[in-house]
Structure formats: structure tokens, C-alpha cells
Chains A and B, each alone.
Chain A
């Protein structure tokens, strides 16, 4: 058990079984429960709010339409008209990351995207889709992606190697960006909240002094809401840009 006198910001990320089938590894953990809740909330909200399909949207339908327009505009700007083929994929990624991040901001809930395995699974999915579709659509000409135009011949091999390495680092940077942002934010929140409690235990002067870390915690919570939304947007935007590389491989 953790020492109650020391701030322990890591315990919040532990994956615990809620319902396990013995030792088989199957069952419902807190991580899978929140992933189910995320997907369920998104599906239920989108289906119920657009059930009436009214031409002039009511408030609930308006939110769904705003989300659709936002992601559709982003996909069309980055990947062109043909990129809209991937709209369901990018929209699902965006909504999942956004709602999962927002769920994590609620105090007792578990943050699914603060685990590298979750974000790496999403980023690997994006990478595999890009590579497979790139080869399916362009054949061997997909490799023109690694040969930028206008490069002098003698330096071409070096540039190609560097381009391949930076292409292979895409799933890593995509996953670690989301994971590290959310993990660092939640650890910071926990540590600053721990400061409030620690200072509060020092008596009356401690209570007065605890106002400063309290104000900081409120500020960081606001920042974390912004980061949660921003990281979802960046994940979806980068996915659209990588898909654009698969659809139109050239520099």
C-alpha cells in the first residue's frame, strides 16, 4: 500500500479488474469499462440526436452536425475530396480521443488515453491503414514519397534513408504525443492537489498557504481541458495528413 504521507501520483493509472474470468486475462477492467463507456456514449448520442433528421436542427442535432462539419472540413482541407473516403475512420478517432480525454477530466474516472498501449494501438492502426492503402492505390509508386523532387542525385540516397526513418517514426510520435500530454497533465494535477492537502495539514497558516496551490490546480485543470480537446484535434489532423500522403504520394 502507498504511504499515506507521501503524494502518490502513479496509483491513479493502475489497471484493476472489475470482473475477471479467473486467470485467463479475460474480463472487464477499469480501462475496458471506460473504453466501452466512451464508445457507447458517442454512439448513443450521435444516433439519438440525429434520429429526427430535421432540416433545421434542434440543439442536440446541432452539436452532432458541428462535430461532423468540423472533422469533414479538416479532412477535406488536408486530404482533398478523395480523403472523404476515410471520413468515418478519422471521425471515429477524433470522437474517441476527445471523449476519452474528457472522461479522464472527471475526478474519479479512469483516463484511457494515459496508457501507451491504447494510444499506440490507435497510432499503429493509422500507420497500417496509410501503408496498406498507399500500396493498394499507388502500387510501387507509393515509394515516391521518400524521394522528394528537386534533390541533387548525389545526396539522394541519404535523403531517402532519412525520409524512411522519419516515416517510420510517425506512429511513435503520434502515440507518444497523445500519451505523454495526457499522462503528464494528470500527474501534474495529482501532484498539485497533493500540495494543497499537504499544506492544509499544517494548521491555520497552512490553510491560508494552501490557497496558492489550489489556484494553480484550478488553472492547470483549465489547461488540461484545453489540452484534451487540442490533442484530439491534432491526432485527427495528423491522421488526415498521413492519409493525404497515402492518397497523393509526392512532395
Chain B
């Protein structure tokens, strides 16, 4: 197999990692929503925790996207 073909296959495989990150991000927001609907008064206080948790989890999905980009454009 040529290196070019292997690069494209690798880039495609790397995108599977984003599935886990997507589930993680959805988890965070769904838990925040269910908590906020039970206790709306406490929701604004936790908003910054929400944004922080979202950013840290999305980072892992971006890491996998980065691997795909590295394979396509840098290697």
C-alpha cells in the first residue's frame, strides 16, 4: 500500500475518536439540563462549570480531529 493511500485511510480512522467525544459532550449538557429543570434556581451558578466541562471534553474530540489533519496535511 502506498503511503498516500495509508494516510487517507488513517485520517478516516482517526475520525472515529470524535464519536466518544460527542457522547461525552452530550452527557454533560443533558445532565446539566435535567439538573436545571429540577432546580432552576441553582442553574445559573453552575453555568461556568458547564462551559468548563464542555471545553475540556470537546478538547479530546479536537485531539482526534488534529490527528486526522496531521495525517492529511503534515505527514
A contacts, CB < 8 Å to B: 9-10, 74, 77, 173, 176-177, 179-181, 183-184, 187, 230-231, 233-234, 237-238
Cβ contact within 8 Å between A184 and B52: no
Q: How far, in angstroms, from A177 to B63 measured CA to CA in the complex?
A: 7
Contacts of B74 in A (CB 8 A): 10
Question: Mostly helix, strand, loop or mixed at chain B's interface?
Answer: helix
Residues of chain A contacted by B58 (CB below 8 angstroms):
181
CA distance A193 to B18 in the complex (A): 23
Contact B63 A230 (CB under 8 A): no
B-side contacts of A179, CB under 8 Å = 66
Residue among B51, B56, B58, B66 with the highest chain A CB neighbour number at 10 A: B66
Whether the Cβ atoms of A233 and B69 lie closer than 8 Å is no
> A230, B69: Cβ atoms under 8 Å?
no
B64 smallest CB distance to A (angstroms): 9
Query: Which residues of B line the A interface, CB within 8 A?
Result: 48, 51-52, 55-56, 58-59, 62-63, 65-66, 69, 73-74
| Cα distance, A66 to B14, chains bound together (Å) | 41
Taking CB atoms, residues of chain A closer than 8 Å to B73 are 9-10, 187
* Residue in chain B with minimal CB distance to A235: B55
Are B69 and A187 within 8 A (Cβ)? yes
Q: Give the complex CA separation of A176 and B70 in angstroms.
A: 13
A231 CA to B54 CA, complexed, in Å: 11
Known A179-B66, A184-B69, A234-B55; 19 more pairs at CB < 8 Å: A9-B73, A10-B74, A74-B48, A77-B48, A173-B59, A177-B56, A180-B59, A180-B62, A180-B63, A180-B66, A181-B59, A183-B66, A184-B62, A184-B65, A187-B73, A230-B55, A233-B51, A234-B56, A237-B52
